[in-house]
Amino acid sequence: MNKDKLKEFAIRYGFILLAGLLIVFFSIFASGFAGPRSAVFIFQSVAITGILALGVTCTLVVDGFDLSIGSVATSALMLSAYMMVVLEQNAFIAVLACLLMGAAVGLINGFLIVKMRVPDLLATLGMMFLLIGLQRIPTEGRSISTGMRLPGGNLAEGTFAEGFLWLGRHRIDVVLEKLIPVPVIIFLVISIIIWIFLEKTRHGRLMYAIGSNERAAALAGTNVSGYKILAYMISGVTASIGGILLAARLGRGDIASGTNLLLDSVAAALIGFAVLGAAKPNAFGTAIGALFVGILLQGLTMMNAPYYTQDFVKGAVLVVALIFTFALSSRVRGGNH
Amino acid sequence: MSDVACEISNLEKSFGPNQVLRGIDMKLPAGQVSVLMGANGAGKSTLVKILCGVQLPDAGSIKLFGSSFQPKSPIEASKNGVITVHQSINDGVVPDLDVTSNLLLDGLAHPGEGFLLNRSLMKARAAEIAKVIGYKGNLDAIVSRLGVADRQMIAIARAVACSPKLLILDEPTSSLSATEAKRLFAVIEKLKNDGVAVLYISHRMSDIRAIADRIFAMRDGQISGEFEGDSLDYEGAVTAMLGKKMTDFEISISAVSSPVLQLCNLRLSADSKPLDITVSRGEVVVITGLLGSGKSLLSSILFGLEKPANGQMLLDGSPFEPKNPANAIRLGVHMSPKDRANNAIVSDFDIGANLTLPFTKFFSNFGFTSLKRQQAACSSMIDTMGIVCQHGADMVGTLSGGNQQKVIVGRWLLRECKLLILDEPFQGVDIKARRDIGAHIRATSDNRATLVFVSEIDEAFEIADRILVLHEQSIVGQHVNKNIDLAELLSQVSGNTESIEQAEMVR
């Protein structure tokens, strides 16, 4: 009995406890780790992947999966640069175009999955390829920056709008001067919105019902197709927001950036399964999962771990989290049946 | 006259607290066809799964030609000559391969068969097998392009090709036409002469008349009757299978008021007879019938999951053509589906969220779920249905089967409706829960029409005002639940045409 309780405690709070221990450990052994600037840096390093991970969480909730998020983000990066630098539009139009592009990609993903009955992994894999290719066509595979030579022979004369760069670079004064970057605030706001949507609204609940037993949800009159499409649209829009922030930070349409976005954000969402013993996709867990990876990498970097060990560390965390979720918590749950 | 091919004694199997097999004793003689009959949940499929090595028994023994037999895997079972053709055809064929490969699949899966495929040798062997079963289709055709009947024949041919000693056929004729069924019977006859024991699971009287040497009736995990001899007592077997324990239940027949649901000349499928059903407000009508009689199809049509072939449906006098479940619910039709684990329970949710699943709109403000209202509705439903739990926030998976079923039925009683459909509401439910659910359905039935589909007769007696008997997608009997002639009812269920004709003449 006592052993069971201990196990349940470990499953519920193990991951958060581990994160706390890591923070204490790094605060002691990595000089400069403890402090507001360092904390903000961690948030900033995970903001974009976190935003993408929140979107993929929504598709995981309906028992789907979105592999196209990384390429939606890089497409948004290229599209925003193209809108401003080549087409010389303002920041608002550029942002709007990216959001619409994300929603449209989500709609097409949902349509392929729901109406064309393409399995989710394959549909979004196809979409990923398609977007990676598509974003290279307008510039013949080159990055976009002011003054570049266009395929037609003219020079691109537009520039990144100040307002657009503000999204990625501005820091807001909170206690300390220029402390919190805008992307971190956007990440926190989206976390809260997705959390409220999934946990506190009937739509979120119906999406969880679809993920748990699609047939039961359908027989209870749920619009299964509609909610699935909605999930992919949310995923597309959040991924495009991630892309916009990346573009605003870089200040150019860099064709080679964002390659790690997909794996990092999927890992964060999956690590989130283990947080609070949820054993299912959830917004809070996803945000914590992203931060966990950020804390670990920041701490290790400050302790002079070389950059090339980063992916190994992420992979190890993911595997441990998955063991937490699937081996331990399912065993405790299984005992009830 | 013949040896016992397979002797099963005192076989037991439980899943958690649910005892599915309670001591099965059977002797299957070689060279004979033994038919196994049993209602949903009687334990037939568990028995078959144990015989073919998918599951292990908890107790009891199986002897195959005198030697002990306890297969741990399907391969082990088939090595010992126990070959099974499962009811779900897709278990028996690989759709993406051609007919030849399918027929020879067991050989291919056999270790030591060689590495490369010898196409011409394969075709010759496949042709031989096809000849035995009388399959005349193209052997190069891809199975996924073939019809259901051809697939079924291929699955059977595959089994026959393994030269079985005990052949288990689970509802093999369910998708065959009459001529194909005859071909199958000829094959079975040949196998019988070769000394193969056949265990044949079916309810179809035509099948049983054609090939059965004996009938085992199964009920609640036990053999409830064994029938053999020249004139097989089919009706007796149906009675044993359904159980006729008359309960001390006294139903006071409700007064009938205005009709709510009217089905006029409705054909469930293109080749079935039209049926007429009227269900009135305040009335509980039970439709009973064997597996495959059309109960599931009718309930699916009423809930917008399927379309009828033709005919008219009226709800409160206006045309009723539900497009999907959401539409049906909006029009005032609630349906609790059968098979709660697959169709109704959301195991990740607690009791409250499961109860309110179809009506989240009414338990939320501007889209935000109102836990307060949900809790209120949940605890009142827990009280009225007598759901045994600690709290409404218990996960639904922690409840017993009967209490889960109460949650699922209670779900559709949360809000009023015009027509409540309950498909097998007592499936996998203990007697206490069954009484609770039945009593609650009757107690709340005044302001709606209630239509219940059950296959066990005594469940019908406990709840019905009127009992309709469905056979081959048409109504063959109608009884007010008072002093019912049980023999007549059972013969209608089993599809005995004489009594049906009599009943039609009386009408």
Q: Residue by residue, what is the 3-state secondary structure of B107-168? A: HHHCCCCCCCCCHHHHHHHHHHHHHHHCCCCCCCCEHHHCCHHHHHHHHHHHHHHCCCCEEE
Burial category of B370 from C-beta neighbours within 10 Å (exposed 0-12, middle 13-18, buried 19 and up): middle
Q: Using an 8 Å Cβ cutoff, are B340 and B405 in contact?
A: yes
> In chain B, which residues have their Cβ closer than 8 Å to the Cβ of A206?
357, 360
Residues B265, B303: one domain? Answer: yes
**A214/chain B closest Cα distance in angstroms:** 8
Q: Among the three residues B242, B268, B298, which one is the final residue of a domain in this structure? A: B242
Q: Using an 8 Å Cβ cutoff, are B343 and B411 in contact?
A: no
Q: Has residue B363 been placed in a domain?
A: no
* Residue A129 in this model has a pLDDT that exceeds 80: yes
Residues B98, B209: one domain? Answer: yes
Q: Among the three residues B182, B217, B242, which one is the final residue of a domain in this structure? A: B242
> In chain A, which residues have their Cβ closer than 8 Å to the Cβ of B355?
none
Give A187-221 pLDDT, tens digit per residue.
999 999 999 999 999 999 999 999 999 999 999 99
Q: Which domains does chain A have, with CATH numbers?
A: 14-26+33-329 (1.10.3470)
* C-alpha pair distances (Å), A137 with each of A126, A149, A242, B112: 17, 15, 22, 53
Residues B206, B318: one domain? Answer: no
Per-residue pLDDT at A95: 97
Residue B439: how many CB atoms within 10 A of its CB?
14
- Residue-number span of the structural domain to which B225 is assigned: 4-242
**How many Cα neighbours within 13 Å face the side chain of A56?**
37
Q: Compute the distance between CA of residue B103 and CA of residue B117 in angstroms, rounded to an integer.
A: 14
> In chain B, which residues have their Cβ closer than 8 Å to the Cβ of A333?
397
* C-alpha pair distances (Å), A69 with each of A262, A263, A290, B364: 6, 10, 16, 32
In B, minimum Cα distance to A222 occurs at B326
Q: Has residue B348 been placed in a domain?
A: no
> In chain B, which residues have their Cβ closer than 8 Å to the Cβ of A273?
none
Residue % of chain A over a pLDDT of 70: 97
Whether residue B342 and residue A215 make contact (CB cut-off 8 A), yes or no, is yes
Q: Using an 8 Å Cβ cutoff, are A334 and A11 in contact?
A: no
Per-residue pLDDT at B499: 46
Q: Using an 8 Å Cβ cutoff, are B35 and B202 in contact?
A: yes
Nearest to B37 by CA among B490, B401, B499, B470: B490
Token pair 């971190």 in the structure block, residue? A184
Nearest to B150 by CA among B188, B180, B123: B180
Residues B44, B82: one domain? Answer: yes
**A209/chain B closest Cα distance in angstroms:** 6
* Residue A152 in this model has a pLDDT that exceeds 60: yes
Query: A176 pLDDT band (50/70/90 cuts)?
Result: confident
Q: Compute the distance between CA of residue B468 and CA of residue B447 in angstroms, rounded to an integer.
A: 21
Whether residue B344 and residue A222 make contact (CB cut-off 8 A), yes or no, is no
**How many Cα neighbours within 13 Å face the side chain of B299?**
27
Residues B213, B338: one domain? Answer: no
What average pLDDT does range A66-89 have in this prediction?
95
What average pLDDT does range A31-56 have in this prediction?
93
Q: List the single residue in B324, B368, B398 with the smallest CB-CB distance to A336.
A: B398
Per-residue pLDDT at A77: 96
Residue % of chain A over a pLDDT of 90: 68
Q: Using an 8 Å Cβ cutoff, are B394 and B350 in contact?
A: yes
Per-residue pLDDT at B2: 53
Q: Has residue B380 been placed in a domain?
A: no
> In chain B, which residues have their Cβ closer than 8 Å to the Cβ of A217?
346, 357
- The angle that helices A162-169 and A91-114 make with each other, rounded to 10 degrees, is 70
Query: A334 pLDDT band (50/70/90 cuts)?
Result: very low
In B, minimum Cα distance to A219 occurs at B325
Q: Compute the distance between CA of residue B451 and CA of residue A189 in angstroms, rounded to an integer.
A: 50
Whether residue B357 and residue A216 make contact (CB cut-off 8 A), yes or no, is yes
Q: Has residue B188 been placed in a domain?
A: yes
Domains: count for chain B: 2
**B158/chain A closest Cα distance in angstroms:** 31
Burial category of A98 from C-beta neighbours within 10 Å (exposed 0-12, middle 13-18, buried 19 and up): buried
Residues B191, B328: one domain? Answer: no
Distant-in-sequence, close-in-space partners of B495: CB < 8 Å, separation ≥ 6: B205, B290, B471, B472, B476
Q: Compute the distance between CA of residue B441 and CA of residue B92 in angstroms, rounded to an integer.
A: 41
Residue ranges for chain B with pLDDT beneath 70: 1-2, 17, 40-41, 88-91, 108-115, 175, 230-231, 243-251, 496-507
Q: Using an 8 Å Cβ cutoff, are A84 and A164 in contact?
A: yes
Per-residue pLDDT at B498: 52
Q: Which of residues 365-384 of B touch A (CB under 8 A)?
A: 367-369
> In chain B, which residues have their Cβ closer than 8 Å to the Cβ of A280?
348
Q: Which of residues 306-365 of B touch A (CB under 8 A)?
A: 324-326, 328-330, 335, 337, 342-349, 353, 357-358, 360-361, 363-364
Q: List the single residue in A202, A212, A337 with the smallest CB-CB distance to B349.
A: A212
Give B341-378 pLDDT, tens digit per residue.
889 999 889 999 999 999 999 999 999 999 999 999 99
Cross-strand pairs, B263: B277, B313
Q: Compute the distance between CA of residue B56 and CA of residue B197 in angstroms, rounded to an integer.
A: 22
Residues B233, B302: one domain? Answer: no
Per-residue pLDDT at A58: 97
Residues B469, B422: one domain? Answer: yes
Put simply, whether B17 touches A (Cβ < 8 Å) is: no
Q: Has residue B405 been placed in a domain?
A: no
Whether residue B395 and residue A212 make contact (CB cut-off 8 A), yes or no, is no
Give B39-60 pLDDT, tens digit per residue.
766 788 889 889 988 888 999 9
Residues B96, B214: one domain? Answer: yes
Q: Has residue B475 been placed in a domain?
A: yes
Per-residue pLDDT at A122: 96
Q: Compute the distance between CA of residue B392 and CA of residue B389 in angstroms, rounded to an integer.
A: 7
Q: Compute the distance between CA of residue B347 and CA of residue B451 in angstroms, rounded to an integer.
A: 27
- Main-chain phi, psi angles of A62, to 5 degrees: -90, 25
3-state secondary structure at position B85: strand
Whether residue B361 and residue A202 make contact (CB cut-off 8 A), yes or no, is yes
Q: List the single residue in A213, A218, A333 with the smallest CB-CB distance to B345.
A: A213
What average pLDDT does range A153-172 have in this prediction?
91
Residues B135, B51: one domain? Answer: yes
Whether residue B348 and residue A280 make contact (CB cut-off 8 A), yes or no, is yes
Per-residue pLDDT at B166: 92
Q: Has residue B204 been placed in a domain?
A: yes
Q: Among the three residues B213, B242, B271, which one is the final residue of a domain in this structure? A: B242
**B195/chain A closest Cα distance in angstroms:** 44
Residues B238, B263: one domain? Answer: no
Dihedral angle over CA of A188, A192, A193, A194, nearest 10: 100
Q: What is the CATH number of the domain that holds B305?
A: 3.40.50.300
Q: Give the mean pLDDT of chain A.
A: 91
Cross-strand pairs, B266: B275
Q: Has residue B352 been placed in a domain?
A: no
**B487/chain A closest Cα distance in angstroms:** 37
Number of A/B CB contacts below 8 angstroms equals 77
Per-residue pLDDT at B137: 80
Q: List the single residue in B347, B358, B398 with the smallest CB-CB distance to A213.
A: B347
Nearest to B287 by CA among B310, B326, B261, B252: B261
Whether residue B343 and residue A216 make contact (CB cut-off 8 A), yes or no, is yes
Residues B208, B279: one domain? Answer: no
The residue among B303, B324, B348 with the most chain A CBs within 10 A of its CB, best to mutate, is: B348
Per-residue pLDDT at B1: 43
